[in-house]
Structure 1
């Protein structure tokens, strides 16, 4: 029986991971930056410009949004440490997307490298 780590290792063998030091350039050239973490993780901080499409609904969201239909979209994905993003990248490749990359080390590596993090500000009612 395979473990989650086995599945992630197999996924990483099939996808293109970009190191954190090259991620900003890849993101600048991407059509879409997708955070596949859960909404509560996203609200705690995310890469600037990222949209949140959690791993559990990614395929459904990609299929239901006309802006996401072109299979030539340049897509960069990330999660907390890169496991979910690797699985998501495989799923998108299986759906026919041609240019899908994942940030190696994910959000944790991005933050550890001192790169910019966006944190939504809660409204103040007064």
Structure 2
């Protein structure tokens, strides 16, 4: 029986990942940067310019929105540490999307490298 780790490892063998040194250029060149985490994770912090499409809805949203139907869209996906984005990239590859990248290390690696994220700021009550 396969574990989640086994599924992610298999997905990684079939997809392209972009590492942090090339991530900025890949994101700038992308048609869409997609955060596949859950809503609360996205709300807490996300990479500037990212759109939120949770992993559980990704295939449905791309199938049902005409502007996302082009299989030549340049897509960069990320999650917390790149497991869910690897699985998502593999699913999109299966759907015929040809230019999908998963951000190696996810937003955790992005933040650890000192890159900016958008996070809500709480008002000060002095």
Give the alignment's TM-score, normalised by structure 2: 0.94
Tell me what 1:63 maps to. Answer: 63
CA 1:120–1:6: 2 relative to 1, 3 Å: same
The alpha-carbon deviation at position 120 of structure 1 amounts to 3.9
The alpha-carbon deviation at position 121 of structure 1 amounts to 5.0
Distance 1:16 1:58 in 2: 18
Matched pairs, number: 123
Tell me what 1:16 maps to. Answer: 16
Indicate the RMSD between aligned Cα atoms, in angstroms: 1.2
1:3-55 CA-partner distances (Å, limit 9, x unpaired): 00000000001000010121010000000000000000000000000000000
Distance 1:20 1:56 in 2: 25
Structure 2 unaligned regions, length at least 5? none
Tell me what 2:26 maps to. Answer: 26
Structure 1 unaligned regions, length at least 5? none
Runs of 4+ in 1 over 3 A off after TM superposition: 120-123
